[in-house]
Every structure is written in structure tokens, then in C-alpha cells.
Amino acid sequence: MAYMSMGEAHRRITDYLNRFSDAVSSQDVVSLKQLLSFSSNSPSLLSLADSLNVFQDANRLIKQSDNYSPFADITVPLFRSLQHYRTGNLVDAYLAFEKSANAFIQEFRNWESAWALEALYVIAYEIRVLAERADRELASNGKSPEKLKAAGSFLMKVFGVLAGKGSKRVGALYLTCQLFKIYFKLGTVHLCRSVIRSIETARIFDFEEFPKRDKVTYMYYTGRLEVFNENFPAADQKLSYALINCNPQSEANIRMILKYLIPVKLSIGILPKDWLLEKYNLVEYSNIVQALRRGDLRLLRHALEEHEDQFLRSGVYLVLEKLELQVYQRLFKKIYIIQKQKDPSKAHQMKLDVIVKALKWLEMDMDVDEPSLWMSRWNV
């Protein structure tokens, strides 16, 4: 780090504070959000952090000036957080940032218009990301990670601030999506229910008013919840919405949506084309699709085993396992078709030993009883 003089440090700090108060008084959200976005690691924020280390009396500077003291509750902890962030002390950075964010929310509530909404988004994002990093730090020190959970509580409070009649309510969906990300990460997915209820059934919000980007994210997460609950028609509807309205440029997002949409579509008998799987690198589904096409039971079991961990973690394993029935149906249909071609007069009688042979070839070890079982299920 190049040597910075006391004067230079002082200048940079007052520069920041001036930009902050100018942004607020002229309602310039673009400038304001840049001042809050730690994770952008912008050179100006980094050099501000360095300046704070050199000129250590920023608090007095803030409190003694009429220009800066109104935002003291925001900037004092913000500076502290930035310093901790710079030294890699994430737990303290999170705690201080949350304090600053809390003060910001109080001001935000008093501002009549929604001019600062995007700055609020930045704060919500930073809270989540800082909390995640803080938890990693806690876990690596053998302590129990609970900052992300605290972030969830904090953002619920912010959500409450946005819910209301004013123009600020369009921000609620962004907050919801941040909350979803937190709950999914923590595994406390049941907490999504209450916020979904607020969005969907409480009569404050008109879903169509929300920004498209937020709607896509929302449908992605609620679609995934439907997959977990094996509610396939709803999952299909929501994930398809997300897919159709997703930015075609963002391939990573499309991939994430497809990862859950494909098992749903497979369950209702719709197979994706191979090029789709290749384009979005979802080759773990290739063998499953193939197995469904061919009626290849062995391939299905093999594919499930090969990617078992991955499928279990993403929560689609049980959905894919249920495809076994469809694979059987496909197999028997093919046998039926072949037999019919060979001997049309006896088409209605499927020979059991033919079936047993086919199954044996697929390494599915069965006695004569079992195929009859399937036949009886489908009234063949």
C-alpha cells in the first residue's frame, strides 16, 4: 500500500461524506448505491477503507459537522464495517453493516417517494452476502454460524417496511427473492411460506407491477418449492414462466431453471431435445432421457446411481426415480409393437417369457410373476 498522507486520507473521507449527503439531498440513487456496495470492491471504497486506517478520527469529523452529523447513525457504523471488511474480519463487518443498514431503513421510511429503492436493494444484497461470508468465518473457527439467520430476520423487517400503499411496494419482490436465497441456503425453506402468502394472497400487491427480473426470480424459487412438494402442474407453470421471461443472454440462469424444469417435464412425458441438454450443460439428464425413449430400465437405474448425490442435493432424485414406471411402459409397448409386427393375429397376447427375456437382458432379475404385475396394472 502506497503511503497516504494524513491530509490525503482526510480529503478522501470528506469527499465520500460529501457525496453521500449530496446524493441524499438531490435524490440521486445511482450515486448513493455506489457508496454502499462493498462487494463491488470498487477502488474508491477500498481507498476509503485505507484512508480510515490512516485518519483514525472519522467519527469526530462526522459528528462535529452540520453537513455530516444527520447521517451519523448510518455512516459511523458503515465506516467501521468497511474497515473490518478491508481487514477480512467478516463477522464484525456484518454486525456493523447491519447497524448501519438499520439506521438507513429508518431514514428510508421517512422519505416519501421511492427514490432510494435501488440503494435499498444494494443494502439487502450486501447484508445477505456479508452474512454468508461471516458464517463461513464462524464455521471455520469452529463456532456456530448464525449471521445468515440474523440477516433473514433483518430482511423480513425491511420487507415489512416496503409493504404498504406507497410506491415503495414494488421493491417487496426483490426483498422476497433475497429472503428466498437465504432460506434455501439455510435449508429453512418452510419460512418461505409466510412471505409467499404476503405476496400472493394479501391484497397489497399486484404481481404484474413488479419488475420482470424479480418476477422471474420469484417464479424460479416458488417453482422449485412446487418440485419439492411434487406438485407438478404448478411447478411446470411457474418454471416455464421463469424460462420464457428470463433474459435469453443469461445462460447461467436459464440453466438453473432448466435443471428443475426438465424433471418436471419428464414426469408429464415431455422429453427435451439433446441439443438443449448439451447447450446448457445438463448432461446428467442425457441418459435418463435416453432410457425413457428406449424403455431401457438398466440405463435409468445406472443414470440414477451415477448422479445420485447430485440429484439428491438438488432435490430431484425422487422425481426422477418415479420415471421408472414410464420406462416400463415404454419397454412393454415396444415389445408389443414388435410382437404385433411378427404375428398380428396374436397381438393381444403378450408372451410373458418374451418379456422376462427382455428384462433379463436388461439385467433386471425377475421371475415370471412380476411382468404379469405390470400387465395387470395397465390392464393389458
Partner 1 sequence: MERRHHSQSHSQRQQGRNHFSSSSSNQSRSNNRFSFPKSSSSSSSANDVRDRRRETQEEKQEEAIVGTCPFMCPEAERLQRQRLRDLAVFERLHGDPRNSSPALAVKKFCRTMSAKEVRASDVRPLPVLEETLNYLLSLLDSTEHPFEVIHDFVFDRTRSVRQDLIMQNIVNDKAINMFEKIVKFHVISHHKLRSSCSSSSISPLHYLNLEQLTKALTSLYNLYEANWSSKPIHEKEAEFRSFYVLLHLDSNGQPVGESLSLWFRHVPSPIIKSKEMWFARQALRYFQMGNYRRFLSTVAAEASYLQYCIIEPYIDEVRSLALCCIHNCYYKLHPYPLGHLSKVLMMEESDVELFCNAYGLQTCIDELGNKLLPTKQTTFCRPKGGLQNYSFLGFQQLGRQIEL
Residues that bind partner 1 (CB under 8 A): 24-25, 69-71, 73, 95, 98-99, 102-103, 106-107, 109-112, 142, 144, 146, 149-150, 153-154, 156-157, 159-161, 163-166, 168, 187, 189-190, 194-195, 197-198, 202-204, 227-230, 308-309, 312-319, 321-322, 324-325, 369-370, 372-373, 375-377, 379
For the bound state, the minimum distance from the C-beta of residue 322 to partner 1, rounded and expressed in Å, comes to 6
For the bound state, the minimum distance from the C-beta of residue 137 to partner 1, rounded and expressed in Å, comes to 16
For the bound state, the minimum distance from the C-beta of residue 18 to partner 1, rounded and expressed in Å, comes to 14
Measured CA to CA in angstroms, residue 44 lies from 34, 37, 311 at distances of 10, 11, 43
Given a contact cutoff of 8 angstroms between Cβ atoms, the answer to whether 199 and 156 are in contact is no
Q: What is the distance between the alpha carbons of residues 160 and 169, in angstroms, rounded to a whole number?
A: 10
For the bound state, the minimum distance from the C-beta of residue 275 to partner 1, rounded and expressed in Å, comes to 28
Measured CA to CA in angstroms, residue 211 lies from 28, 216, 218, 245 at distances of 20, 9, 11, 11
**Residue with grid cell 422449485, as numbered in its chain:** 224
Given a contact cutoff of 8 angstroms between Cβ atoms, the answer to whether 327 and 297 are in contact is yes
Considering the complex, state which of residue 158 and residue 246 has its C-beta at the smaller distance from partner 1: 158
> 232-255 as b/e, with b when 16 or more CB fall inside 10 Å?
beebbebbbbbbeebeeeeeebbe
For the bound state, the minimum distance from the C-beta of residue 74 to partner 1, rounded and expressed in Å, comes to 11
Considering the complex, state which of residue 40 and residue 372 has its C-beta at the smaller distance from partner 1: 372
Measured CA to CA in angstroms, residue 231 lies from 13, 244, 319 at distances of 55, 20, 11
Among 224, 230, 234, which residue's Cα sits nearest to residue 258?
A: 224
Considering the complex, state which of residue 118 and residue 370 has its C-beta at the smaller distance from partner 1: 370
For the bound state, the minimum distance from the C-beta of residue 33 to partner 1, rounded and expressed in Å, comes to 18
For the bound state, the minimum distance from the C-beta of residue 164 to partner 1, rounded and expressed in Å, comes to 5
Considering the complex, state which of residue 146 and residue 278 has its C-beta at the smaller distance from partner 1: 146
Find the distance separating the first CA and the last CA of the chain, reported in whole Å: 79
For the bound state, the minimum distance from the C-beta of residue 285 to partner 1, rounded and expressed in Å, comes to 17
Burial of 130 per CB tally in 10 Å (0-12, 13-18, 19+)? buried
Q: Can you say whether residue 379 is alpha, beta or left, with left for phi > 0 and alpha for psi between -120 and 50 degrees?
A: left
Considering the complex, state which of residue 54 and residue 150 has its C-beta at the smaller distance from partner 1: 150
Taking the CB of residue 28, how many other CB atoms lie within 10 A of it? 15
Considering the complex, state which of residue 50 and residue 284 has its C-beta at the smaller distance from partner 1: 284
Considering the complex, state which of residue 40 and residue 89 has its C-beta at the smaller distance from partner 1: 89
> 103-113 as b/e, with b when 16 or more CB fall inside 10 Å?
bbbeebeeeee
Considering the complex, state which of residue 13 and residue 225 has its C-beta at the smaller distance from partner 1: 225
